[in-house]
Structure 1
Amino acid sequence: MLNLNLFKYISVPLYLFIYLIIPDSAITQTLKVNFIRNLENALNNRDLEFIRKNFSDYENQNIQKQFSKIINDFPSSEWNIKRLKSNIPNKDILQIKVSGKKIVDEDIHILESNFDFLFSIVNGKIDEGIIKNLFTTIRNDDKKIDIIFKIPDKVLTGSKYDIDIILNKPLEEVIIAGAIKPHQVNSIFEQEILLEPLVAGGIFKMTRAPSKPGIQIWSGIIAHPKGMITFTKSIDVVDEI
């Protein structure tokens, strides 16, 4: 049985997600296979000199600050980078996966983040980066919780849409708790989320997209006797699909 008093307020460390979703970040220069491999190696080897040489001044300062945060929290983090086909003029796309783990009070916390990175080359350096289709989880349940996330990648401006986080197995006498909330892309502070019992076996929310195009961010948490899962999902808000 889950003791809800232990989880009444959870300060979700959103900065663990924010450094992966800040839309002004950037991560690449040319699309030669060797460069992509060198970039991947630089991130995995913590080679900040490579970043300094290949990023614009603004991006260099930003990426180093955010990179340091994730390495501090997940020292074993690894990056995997693949090129995707781009149909956007003057933009190229990389598919980036970040994985890592850390041990806290004998619990193993696993980080998994996937996102597409759109960017331009300005004066031969990385600039004008945008993150799309981000989905990040941090969980300590050894994937014992059978959970499905149904959150759209893209929605129309002003439209209603559903967010469903579903636990597949019958709950019976087990009590779980959870919550989800939107937050600002540029926020770097921890935000409190008030957990509530999830008698329906998950989080089921209908919401409305903003009236202007942009990126909407949702973060949430599931507390279960088998462990805890925090998650962040970015949604593109567009004029047409």
Structure 2
Amino acid sequence: MAGASLLQPGQAARLESQLVDRLHQALNNNDTAGLTALIDQEGTVDSQQLTARLGRLTEKFGPLTWQVSQGQPLADGRARLELSVRGMGEVAGVPYQLEATQILAVSSHQGQILNQEVLKEESWVYSGDQRLPVTLQIPDAVLTGQRYDVDVILDEPLNSGLLAGGILEVGPYEVETMGAPTIQLTTLNAGGLFKRVQAPYTPGGQTWTVMLVHPNGTLITSKRVQVSDMPPPPMATPPNLH
């Protein structure tokens, strides 16, 4: 990975607190110039693609409220950056709420983001005051060619009314442009959606989008599954001070 030579092998790195604060401020102010200034142009992060995606997200659900924090660094020396965002939008007069989280493995240089890798990405868009209580049993990461389950389970049984839903794999272009995929819905009687799938044989990712329609509204949730030809790096072990 480009830029990995900036870190000593086995050394756990953390992003500068000023960089995290500036990123938090740029996102909450929808400051594309400020966000671009945080990206090292010699790295692998496409600042134009990043700001374009932020613009589309703001157009659909703005103003947005972001939270940015650091988690435990990874054992390979990269920092772990955790982002969450909330917003509200409207489709055909119906208000929708957005909740999304993203975890990134990040390396930086001189106060700028050099490289990033998406470790986890999940979003929820729903109508009504509260989202339907469901659990996504979808792994964060799998190996190339691996078979795995994509399950969406209702946490509470519906007392009345029908529930319809569907699962669809969404391609990279639809993810990047935030397009609205056409999902075929079927009536659900088994307390959720259950699908056995297979990862591609090349590293990258798979994104699954689930749509549930119930008497109280609609829920659309998406999750990205990281596909790798090797197990994901563990988090760094904190030093023993005793």
TM range (shorter): 0.7 to 0.9
In 2: Cα distance, 1:93 partner to 1:169 partner: 33
TM-aligned CA distance change 1:31 to 1:162, over 3 Å: same
Matched, 1:232 2:222: yes
Q: Give the Cα–Cα distance (whole angstroms) in 2 for the partners of residues 131 and 206 of structure 1.
A: 23
Task: Structure 2 unaligned segments of length 5 or more: list them.
Answer: 1-13, 232-242
TM-score, normalising length: structure 2: 0.77
Letter in structure 1 aligned against 2:136: F
CA contact 1:156–1:240 (8 Å) conserved in 2: yes
Report the counterpart of residue 19 of structure 2 in structure 1: 35
Residues 163-189 of structure 1: CA deviation (Å, up to 9, x unaligned):
211123334652111111112223334
Query: Could you tell me how far 1:104 is from its partner in structure 2?
Result: 4.4
Hey, what does 1:175 align to over in structure 2? 162
Distance 1:159 1:83 in 2: 30
Give RMSD over aligned pairs: 2.3
Check the 8 A contact 2:16/2:111 in 1, yes or no. no
**Who is 1:8 aligned against?**
none
Is structure 2 residue 143 aligned with structure 1 residue 156? yes
Q: Which is bigger in relative contact order (C-alpha 8 A, separation at least 6)?
A: 1
- Kindly indicate whether residue 85 of structure 2 is the aligned counterpart of residue 98 of structure 1: yes
Quick one: distance in 1 between partners of 2:223 and 2:21? 27
Kept in 2: contact 1:96–1:114 (CA 8 A): yes
Which residue of structure 2 lines up, in the alignment, with residue 6 of structure 1? none
Counterparts of 2:204 and 2:91, CA distance in 1: 36
Structure 1 vs Structure 2: percent identity of aligned residues? 27
Q: In the alignment, residue 226 of structure 2 is paired with which amino acid? A: D
Question: 1:39 Cα deviation (Å)?
Answer: 1.4
In 1, Cα distance between equivalents of 2:165 and 2:32: 38
1:59 and 1:127 in contact (8 A); partners too: no
What SS does structure 1 have at the residue aligned with 2:48? helix
- Mean Cα deviation higher: 153-162 or 213-222: 153-162
The equivalent residue for 1:19 is none
Structure 1: gaps of 5 or more residues: 1-29
Q: Does 1:119 align with 2:106?
A: yes
Task: Tell me by how many angstroms 1:90 deviates.
Answer: 5.3
- What residue is the counterpart of 2:239 in the other structure? none
| Paired positions, count | 212
Asked whether the equivalents of residues 19 and 112 of structure 2 are also in contact (C-alpha less than 8 Å), the reply is no
Mapped partners of 2:149, 2:72: distance in 1: 29
